[in-house]
Structure 1
Amino acid sequence: MAGGLLHIDLSALASNWRTLRDAAGGAQAAAVVKADAYGTGIEQAVPALAQAGCHTFFVAHLSEAIRVRVVAPGATIYVLNGLFPGTPPAYLEHGLRPVLGSFEEIEEWAAFCRAQGQKHAAAIHVDTGMNRLGLTVPQGLTLKDRTELNDFETALLMSHFVSAEESGNPINLRQIEAFKAVRETLPGISASLANSSGIFLKEKPHFDLVRPGYALYGGNPLPDQDNPMRPVVGLEARIVQLRWVEEDDTVGYNARWLALGRRRIATLSIGYADGYPRSASARGRSGEELLAGQVLIAGRPCPFAGNVSMDLITVDVTEIPERNVKRGDTATVIGGALTVDEVGRRAGTIGYEILTSLGRRYARTYRGRQA
């Protein structure tokens, strides 16, 4: 009954985690499962990762962490987006660890631990160049003098790369050196810097723990090289209707696509309400080379024709013999040559956005589910 069919390979997910673990040079490998495990489903992805050997998870929000706790009762779970005022009791109730990124957050967590009479664990985030969250490097260098650190367990010191996917970007080395400087002032505390791409940098900034995210789900952590990851997500959409349009006819909202000659159009039951970006729309004339979306039908690439609408996408299937495409068939939206990175490129965005926008209307199937 569903217009879109989303296939998720949990065995590939587990395999990718093992590949990243092995590349981490002996450091512990965690898993970032924020944004509903990058669209694949926390309740399905986390148990698969746990059975593969992953014991530490990172999420963005407290609500996500509580979902992870339900399916991973013995795991260590960190919440990246900081400590909201008044939330420490929820962390204690569910056995979670905040990532503290300001002196105000450190003070609130320390006061809560003092009131409880227990040293509860937390991470401290030092910003080495992103300028989003975290203590500045000068603030980080003063942490050793902060008496609040006596009131709780600093279980992890962390930072985050700005451009690890650009292996030659000089900011990587600057961040590594800044992070090392802060770490040296806090001996004995585990440290974490590397995300998916950071694991593969020649400097090997693995420290004690790496935090892969995107690569777990099949994204390429090495954009200028072949992808070492297995694909995890496949997406198909059903063909609702086929029609011929005549020369000079337009297709879709705002008449942005013009048929040069008679063209056959297939309408797919998927749209931006399903998380497929409207920026992949094809605006121009048939036959032109446009940076726009494609699907695979009968094994052949078929370009979008017109704007992506809320529930439908129209594609040009003129080059496929009529007998090879019919109503009810499926088109491959993600899969084969249409990797998540390629789909993102064609939409003028990144594969991260494609994955994390996967909608809830799809019929989801899971392969490699562990008993």
Structure 2
Amino acid sequence: MSTARLSINLLALASNWRALSSLSSAETGAVVKADAYGLGAEPVALALAEEGVRSFFVAAAEEGVPIRKVLGPEPRIFVFSGHMDGDTDLLRDHDLIPLLNAPQQVQRHFDALPDHPFGIQLDTGMNRLGLEPSDWSALRSAVLARNPALVMSHLACADEPDHPMNRQQLQSFKDMTGGISAPRSLVATGGILLGPEYHFDLCRPGVGLYGGLPFAAAKPVVTIDLPVIQVRHVDVGETVGYGNAWTARRPSRIATVAAGYADGLHRAIGGGIDAFVGDQPCPVVGRISMDLITIDVTDLPQDPERLRILNGHQTVDDLAEAAGTIGYEILTSLGSRYSRGYVE
């Protein structure tokens, strides 16, 4: 096989959902936006629905359509971007629930789909999406009279448990939603880990399902196997890759594998990470290029046919740290060239 292999373990995914769900007495949904963080929204949503998930979240109405087709009519599919101009037919025809973000969206939805379910997003301090407190005060009675399916907000600093913003937003959410009967939701993965006071009626984990921090107990969901194109001998003092970025200090065997930054293995990762044959680490050397990565396999007893760069030894967050980014970006950047398989 000439392309790298991306394997998604749906058993581990389901286990991560069960583990997060066990931390709360609230309903536990699942965020499957961005093609389930790049791992395939349809198989991921099916696996989670079989596990018992009944509330799914996507970023845009268009993302909800294929999920509705595979899940059927029963699960709820919420749309974070709300009711955008041009969304009316998609929302109606595929029974998607927009989470309305602004007075204009509230008016658009009530005019276009007066009997269609909806939810509300409130801004509790993140200043990204949601009704401002003044707008909510003006619209609250009219909105609540139509029985919203969910009233939600989102934490800005949930991955930092001691950040004062968490308590500030919690109090703001309580102040804005006190006394309402509609279901409430405040937290994603990081917020679940903050404890029951933050959970309200519905939690909506995302990255933790897929093996990412801040859910440190998550099982790894993704593995990437890189096929070896060539192994070459490099003498002391010879360099490898663009910019002569790595110089051999001993006689070395260098494996060139078929993957690179076009496949989401960012150029910025550079050194400091490994690829593996079983439990044996082999350091990545030189610069990651568009289609190729060079790896020092000198300490292996024989030339490998493939090396694994993402596994239980080295996670998406390890790659992210080396690249100066976050695990979310690594996951959602994994490209279309991988041959993909699902472990069920």
Quickly name the TM-score band, shorter chain normalised: over 0.9
Deviation of residue 243 (structure 1)?
Answer: 1.0
The one of 167, 170, 173 aligned to 1:173: 167
Contact 2:62 2:90 in 1 (8 A): no
137, 149, 153: which one aligns with 1:141? 137
Matched, 1:11 2:11: yes
Match of 1:268 in 2: 257
Q: Residue 339 in 1 paired to residue 315 in 2? A: yes
- 1:122 alignment counterpart: 118
Question: How far 1:137 moved relative to its partner?
Answer: 2.9
User: Counterpart of 1:288?
Assistant: none
Residue in 2 that maps onto 1:289: none
Does 1:310 find its partner at 2:290? yes
- Partner Cα separation in structure 2 for residue 155 and residue 40 of structure 1: 28
Match of 2:103 in 1: 103
Amino acid at match of 2:11: S
* Alignment partners' CA distance in 1, 2:299 and 2:228: 16
Q: Does 1:232 align with 2:225?
A: no
Q: Please state how far the C-alpha of 1:319 moved relative to its aligned partner.
A: 2.9
Instruction: Supply the distance in 2 between the matched residues of 1:174 and 1:42 (Cα, whole angstroms).
Output: 34
Q: Does the 8 A contact of 1:2 with 1:361 survive in 2?
A: no
CA displacement 1:112-163 (0-9 Å, x = unmatched): 134xxxx211111112122211122333333324x3664x441111111111
Amino acid at match of 2:132: T
The alignment status of 1:254 with 2:270, answered yes or no, reads no
2:43 is paired with a residue of what secondary structure?
Answer: helix
What SS does the aligned partner of 1:176 have? Answer: helix
Query: What's the offset of the Cα at 1:203?
Result: 5.5
Query: 2: distance between equivalents of 1:261 and 1:228?
Result: 39
> 2:328 corresponds to which residue?
352
AA at the equivalent of 1:250: T
Per-residue deviation, residues 234-286 of structure 1 (Å, max 9, x unmatched): 1111111111222332221232223334332111111111111111123xxxx
Q: 1:242 to 1:202 in 2, by over 3 A?
A: same
Residue 23 of structure 1 aligns to a residue whose secondary structure is coil
In 1, Cα distance between the equivalents of 2:247 and 2:132? 53
In the alignment, the residues of structure 1 paired with residue 238 and residue 227 of structure 2 have an alpha-carbon distance, to the nearest angstrom, of: 24
Question: In structure 2, the residue corresponding to 1:309 is in which secondary structure?
Answer: coil
Kindly, what percent of the aligned residue pairs are identical?
41
Q: Is the 8 A contact 1:4 1:270 kept in 2?
A: yes
* SS, match of residue 91 in structure 1: helix
**Secondary structure in 1 aligned to 2:276?**
strand
**Residue aligned with 1:242, SS:** strand
User: Does 2:326 correspond to 1:361?
Assistant: no
Matched, 1:132 2:165: no
Deviations 1:15-58 (A, max 9, x none): 2111111111x211100001111122112111110010001100
Q: How far apart, in 1, do the equivalents of 2:318 and 2:137 lie?
A: 42
Partner of 2:233 in structure 1?
244
Matched, 1:154 2:148: yes
The alpha-carbon distance between structure 1 residues 229 and 148, as it changes in their structure 2 partners (threshold 3 A), is closer
Deviation at 1:64, TM superposition (A): 1.1
The one of 195, 199, 215 aligned to 2:192: 199
Q: Does 1:281 align with 2:285?
A: no
**Other-structure match for 1:286:** none
1:179 is aligned with what amino acid?
Answer: F
TM-score between both structures, scaled by the size of structure 2: 0.94
For 2:123 and 2:308, the matched residues in 1 are separated by 41
CA distance in 2, matches of 1:331, 1:232: 17
Whether the aligned pair in 1 keeps the contact of 2:123 and 2:133 (CA below 8 Å) is yes
What displacement does 1:217 show?
A: 1.0
> In the alignment, what sits opposite 2:207?
214
Please give the secondary structure, in 1, of the residue aligned with 2:253: strand
Give 2:56's aligned residue.
Answer: 57
Following TM superposition, by how much is the alpha carbon of 1:214 offset from its aligned partner in structure 2, in angstroms? Answer: 0.6
User: Which amino acid is 1:121 matched to?
Assistant: P
Change (3 A) 1:257 1:82: farther
SS at structure 2 position matched to 1:105: helix
Amino acid at match of 1:320: L
Give 3-state SS (helix, strand or coil) of 1:89's partner: helix
3-state secondary structure, aligned to 2:328: helix
> Are the counterparts in 2 of residues 110 and 149 from structure 1 also a CA contact under 8 Å?
no
Q: Is the 8 A contact 2:187 2:204 kept in 1?
A: yes
Q: Does the 8 A contact of 1:110 with 1:148 survive in 2?
A: no
Q: For each residue in 1:192-214, what CA deviation from the matched residue of structure 2 results, as whole angstroms up to 9, or x when unmatched?
A: 00111111114631000000001
Q: Which amino acid aligns with 1:156?
A: L
- In the superposition, relative to structure 1, how do residues 148 and 160 fare at CA in structure 2: closer, same or farther (>3 Å)? closer
- What is the rounded CA distance, in whole Å, between the counterparts of 1:136 and 1:258 in structure 2? 56
